[in-house]
Structure 1
Amino acid sequence: MRRVAYSVETKFKAVKMKAEGYTTKEIMCELNIRNSTQVKTWWRWYRKGETYRFSQQVGKQYSYNKGLVELSELEQLKLKNRRNQAEIDIFKKVQGIGKEVVPEVVIELVDELKHRHPVKLILEVLNVPKSNYYRWKNKKKTEDTTVKKVKELCEDNHYTYGYRKITALMNQASKQPINHKRVQRIMRENNLNCRVRIKKSKRRGKAYYLTSNKLNGNFRANQPLQVLTTDITYLPFGNSMLYLSSIIDLYNGEIVAYKISDTQDQSLVNDTLNQIDIPEGRLLHSDQGSVYTSHAYYQLCEEKGIIRSMSRKGTPADNAPIECFHSSLKCETFYLNNELNNSNFIVKDIVEKYIENYNNNRIQQKLGYLSPVQYRKLAA
């Protein structure tokens, strides 16, 4: 479409009608103006004090330090004053700007001053190309979105995941992969690091075999229910002491059976074992606790065809998988959130929900960042 040149008088009349309250459509009809954008542009120039642009040629883009001869002395003086004021405002905010300007400072400065000065003028004073500014701004926007997503994932998982697991979750949810070093930096800068539990010192006990240690530190299995470990842990968080007996499958780290009781007796262990059908000839490892060295436990294992294995005396490392699970359970619930002095009912509810989430949702690096149940189903 051929461009139409309107006279300076027409432009001033359009601006005057706009100031008097006429609509853009009424102005177009009255002055025979084809495009509504034309009226809006003239009105914007008028509000910014750029009426000198009314006398410019059609399609001419005015830029600072160019074309000043086209302006009257008064308009030139206004333009110079405006630039001087912008420089004063900018240099009040940032002292001693050199040849290199930090992108974050430029973005923050433009956001703060863009309501008082044109973005183009601010960037010119800072000697920053527009292309650089908008590239920095888009990069910052992407970074802010990434930081927000990392924060959400850390919060959803109660700050129990390190940067490797958070990276895996990010890559599972997005088609655009993210590097683990970037996630690590974001978590470090925003204080989102995993709240690790205090490491306990290892105390090696004297080898004393009631039943030989057939597991011998080999915490791997090739199929479900091939190798299992069991143990009892204290739950001193309710009205009275509670005890959790659980069995973990070393194939995928899944808790396949558990029971909570207010007494640490033989029925606690036997009832836990009776919850699952373990194929004959499979290995079940435990420590040398009295409930595991009892005749009742021995007889139950014989009836089920289970091969028993026991840790060395005073050596929890021999039963590391179940010990680690019990430690994580208490650290990530009761200790981390100060869940103390609750009723026994609440304690049981917390433990049950944790185990359900642990089996179905909690990802593990050794399982390819899948949960135990997901890994078992995928392998099947």
Structure 2
Amino acid sequence: MIELWQKFTQIRLKTWLEISGLPKSSFYEWLEKLNKLDEEELKIVNMIKNIFEESNKTYGYRRITIKLKKLGIKINHKKVYRIMKENGLRCIKFTRRSRGYSSFKGEVGRIAENKLNRQFNVSNPNEVWGTDITEFKISGSDKKLYLSPIMDLFNSEIIYFNISTSPTVKFATDSLDKALKSLPKKHNLTIYSDQGFHYQHIHWVNRLEKRKVKQSMSRRGNCIDNSPMENFFGLLKQEMYYGQKFT
């Protein structure tokens, strides 16, 4: 086998070109193209490695594809997946799970109809907003921090957020008040949430009615109805909270 391979490698290029019927100019043209492709892929591989490291090894192929496109690199997510797999670039932080914060305290106010019904694809800004509350446990302490963001489903932008050591109704309505300041007078906004006591409260409901904002609530115990906010909290904690030490 070795001797046969040596014979093949000793055959001159001219002979191979005669056998294949390929012009010499075409051979060198394709050789140049292949070398160029190798250089371009090497450049992309290095960019992917840098983005992966800068994300503290938390970005998967989807997030890296988005980042590359923002940098002006047109690339298919399948190619990014292949390159990451070939180079051993694998997220290792997405293993921790913790019990989520629940603000449901029974029917303490008005529970709105589930008008959104998982229709999360939004074509215009200020068409559907989502909100929820999550908690962060402070290491070495019995204290907790609470985060209340309001997200526009059109582009997943966080319009406003509030942080507090106590998840009061005012804590939630403060976020809403700030977000509503950016809302045009003419709108067709629906804001959805879970059935937390903040969102059943008269102070929350009155603010929505005053600005003619429609309210939608997920069904009790069904986190999929509120999946955009749940996904946001999950990514947020995995990327910048779990495994980190804060003072």
Do these two structures clear the TM 0.5 threshold for a shared fold by scoring above it?
A: yes
| 259-268 or 274-283: bigger deviation | 274-283
Structure 2 counterpart SS, 1:291: helix
CA contact (8 A) 1:227 1:283 kept: yes
Q: How does 1:210-249 map to 2 (within 5 A)?
A: 210-237=111-138, 239=141, 240-249=143-152
Q: How does 1:271-290 map to 2 (within 5 A)?
A: 271-277=174-180, 278=183, 279=185, 281-290=188-197
Cα distance in 1 for residues equivalent to 2:53 and 2:129: 32
Cα distance in 1 for residues equivalent to 2:46 and 2:5: 29
Quote how far apart the aligned CAs of 1:145 are: 3.6
Structure-2 change in CA distance of 1:281 and 1:235 (3 Å): same
| 1:332 maps onto 2:239 in alignment | yes
Structure 2 residue aligned with 1:93: none
Q: How does 1:1-380 map to 2 (within 5 A)?
A: 99-100=4-5, 127=10, 143-167=41-65, 169-170=67-68, 173=71, 180-195=77-92, 197-198=94-95, 210-237=111-138, 239=141, 240-277=143-180, 278=183, 279=185, 281-335=188-242, 338-340=243-245, 342-343=246-247
CA contact (8 A) 2:58 2:238 kept: no
Cα distance in 1 for residues equivalent to 2:227 and 2:173: 21
Structure-2 change in CA distance of 1:321 and 1:199 (3 Å): farther
Deviations 1:125-154 (A, max 9, x none): x8597999x989887665544432221122
Structure 2 counterpart SS, 1:275: helix
Q: Which amino acid aligns with 2:132?
A: D
Structure-2 change in CA distance of 1:141 and 1:330 (3 Å): same
Structure 2 residue aligned with 1:377: none
Structure-2 change in CA distance of 1:129 and 1:169 (3 Å): farther
| TM-score (norm: length of structure 2) | 0.71
Cα distance in 2 for residues equivalent to 1:254 and 1:153: 22
Structure 2 residue aligned with 1:31: none
Quote how far apart the aligned CAs of 1:271 are: 0.2
What is the percentage of aligned positions where both structures have the same residue?
A: 32
CA RMSD of aligned residues (A): 3.5
Structure with greater helix share of residues: 1
Structure-2 change in CA distance of 1:138 and 1:313 (3 Å): closer
CA contact (8 A) 1:287 1:311 kept: yes
Quote how far apart the aligned CAs of 1:257 are: 1.1
Quote how far apart the aligned CAs of 1:222 are: 2.5
CA contact (8 A) 2:150 2:179 kept: no
Aligned length: 213
Structure 2 counterpart SS, 1:234: strand
Cα distance in 2 for residues equivalent to 1:284 and 1:258: 15
Q: Structure 2: 5+ residue runs without aligned partners?
A: 14-26, 98-106
Cα distance in 2 for residues equivalent to 1:286 and 1:248: 11
Rg larger for: 1
Cα distance in 2 for residues equivalent to 1:196 and 1:98: 51
Q: Structure 1: 5+ residue runs without aligned partners?
A: 1-95, 102-123, 201-207, 344-380
Structure 1 counterpart SS, 2:205: helix
Cα distance in 1 for residues equivalent to 2:212 and 2:10: 81
